[in-house]
């Protein structure tokens, strides 16, 4: 059975990003799931697993602006990144998809992990 997981690393301090809101949507639909990362920068449960994971296009929104504002990180006057949006395709419901986010106040990197 496949699953979809994620984690976030805060590159400004080299630590997991805790308490980041993540919203998951299937393209063209409303929010399927809303979770917050734990102290390890991960959701406590997979975003999708088993029968929930079906082939299709999805959007994951990481609320970076709120995260950095709550940490009182100096991002000039307003946060540069507010919501990091990742649009991706899931093609095989039996595969583990892992989408890590490396995050700073001014940039990010996302990739398909393992």
Query: Residues with Cβ < 8 Å from 44, sequence gap 6 or more?
Result: 35, 38
The total number of residues shown for the chain amounts to 114
State residue 89 phi and psi, 5-degree precision: -115, 130
Domains of the chain: 3-110 (2.60.40.180)
Question: Among 28, 20, 31, which Cα is nearest to 100's?
Answer: 20
pTM over 0.85: yes
> What stretches of 11-83 adopt beta strand conformation (E)?
15-16, 21-26, 31-36, 48-49, 56-62
Q: How confident is the model at residue 73, as a pLDDT?
A: 65
Cα angle vertex 25, ends 88, 12, to 5°?
A: 70
Confidence tier at 100 by pLDDT (50, 70, 90) = very high
| Residue range 19-72, pLDDT digits in tens | 999 999 999 999 999 999 999 999 999 999 999 999 999 999 999 999 998 887
């Amino acid at each position: 059975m496949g699953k979809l997981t994620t984690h976030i690393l805060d590159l400004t301090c080299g630590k997991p990003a805790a308490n980041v809101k993540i919203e998951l949507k299937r393209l063209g639909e409303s929010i399927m799931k809303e979770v917050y990362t734990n102290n390890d920068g991960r959701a406590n449960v997979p975003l999708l697993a088993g029968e929930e994971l079906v082939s299709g296009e999805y959007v994951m929104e990481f609320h970076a602006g709120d995260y950095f504002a709550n940490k009182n990180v100096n991002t000039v006057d307003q946060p540069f990144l507010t919501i990091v949006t990742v649009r991706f395709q899931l093609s095989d419901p039996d595969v583990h998809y892992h989408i890590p986010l490396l995050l700073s106040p001014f940039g990010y990197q996302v990739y398909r992990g393992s």
